[in-house]
Amino acid sequence: MTAPAIEIKDVQKSFGNISIIRDLNLSVTQGERHALIGPNGAGKSTTFNLITGYIAPTSGTVKLRGEVISGLRPYQINRRGLSRSFQVTNVFANMSVWENLRCAVLWTAGHRYSFWKNIDHLPEVRDRTAEILADIGLATRRDVPAGLLTYAEQRALEIGITVAGGADVILLDEPTAGMSHAETERAVTLIRRLTEGRTLMIVEHDMSVVFGLADRISVLVYGHVIATGTPDQIRSDPKVREAYLGEEAA
């Protein structure tokens, strides 16, 4: 049996006296698309921060494909094949779209801190960057500084940067937040295509996105997973209906 892509075991996180995450247990199978939902302040982003090493758990462990990663730094976790996007757009604002994507490709391409190679003469980096650029549909905006893109374009770039390094576990934090209906549809198609064959974990408020995209859903309330299951199971779970979904799922 293969180890789960992500396994969170008995994780606690408190800031001072306030406990944000309590007895968090969550398992994401390799290759599945797993959505994490819950009301505002339930600790969804905190969970992402715990998985990606942005903050360390107070107690408990996080495993990536069976390896303990809790306590590692974000870049160490990223190098093990886990990548994330951010709820608030988090790109390299003064650099062009091309440079943004290229920076995301460099480490996995093995160029690391190299200061003796001309960056324009790395064919595999060029190919990979071009591939991602075409994938996210920003080819015509290649030389525009990321800070000057429209909101939807920045979100697409955000996803592009996240997947460019070739990580096989992808975490997306509200990728469609603030988008129009049409933009959301395009974003979902993009996510579906780019995460094909990889493990995806997604935090999302838009329930049509969640139920359309996810293989399994976990419901987080007050830092605790109250239910995990297929969209149908979640829809009919009385605890979930009571705690969170209410009218929406009916």
Partner 1 sequence: MTELASRVAPPYPPLSERIKFYGLWAGAVLLLLVLPRLFSSGSALTTFSLIGISIIFSLSYNILLGQTGLLSFGHAVYYGLGGFLAIHAINMIGANKLPIPLPFVPLIGGMTGLFFAVLLGWVSTQRSGTAFAMISLGVAELIASSALILRTFFGGEAGISANRTKLIRLFDWNFGPQIQIYYLVAAWTLIAIVAMYALTRTPFGRMCNAVRDNPERVQFVGYDPHVIRYLAFCFAGFFAGIAGALAAINFEIANAAYLGAAQSGTVLFSTYIGGVGYFIGPIVGAIFVTVLSLSLSDLTSVWQLYFGLFFIAVVTFAPGGITGLLMMHRPLIKGGALGTVLPYYLISLVPTLAMIAGLVLGIETLVHHTVNPGEDPNIRAFGINFNVSSPLTWLAALVLIVGGFFVARKTWIRLAQAWDEALTAAREKGHST
Positions in the binding site for partner 1 (CB under 8 A): 52, 73-75, 78-79, 83-84, 86, 90-95, 98-99, 102-104, 106-108, 111-120, 122-123, 126-127, 129-131, 133-134, 139, 142-143, 161-162, 164-165
Give whichever of 126 and 224 is closer to partner 1, judged by the CB atom: 126
Q: How far is the CB of 91 from partner 1 (least distance, A)?
A: 7
d(C-alpha 126, C-alpha 111), whole Å = 13
Residue 60: name the closest of 18, 26, 15, 32 by CA: 26
Partnered with residue 27 across adjacent β-strands are: 7
Q: How far is the CB of 8 from partner 1 (least distance, A)?
A: 19
* CB-based burial, 84-99: b 16+ in 10 Å, e otherwise: bbbbebebbeeebbbb
Give whichever of 107 and 211 is closer to partner 1, judged by the CB atom: 107
Give whichever of 122 and 219 is closer to partner 1, judged by the CB atom: 122
Q: How far is the CB of 124 from partner 1 (least distance, A)?
A: 9
d(C-alpha 124, C-alpha 142), whole Å = 18
Partnered with residue 7 across adjacent β-strands are: 27, 63
Q: How far is the CB of 249 from partner 1 (least distance, A)?
A: 33
Give whichever of 113 and 181 is closer to partner 1, judged by the CB atom: 113
- Non-local CB neighbours of 31 within 8 Å, separated by 6+ positions: 5, 197, 198, 199
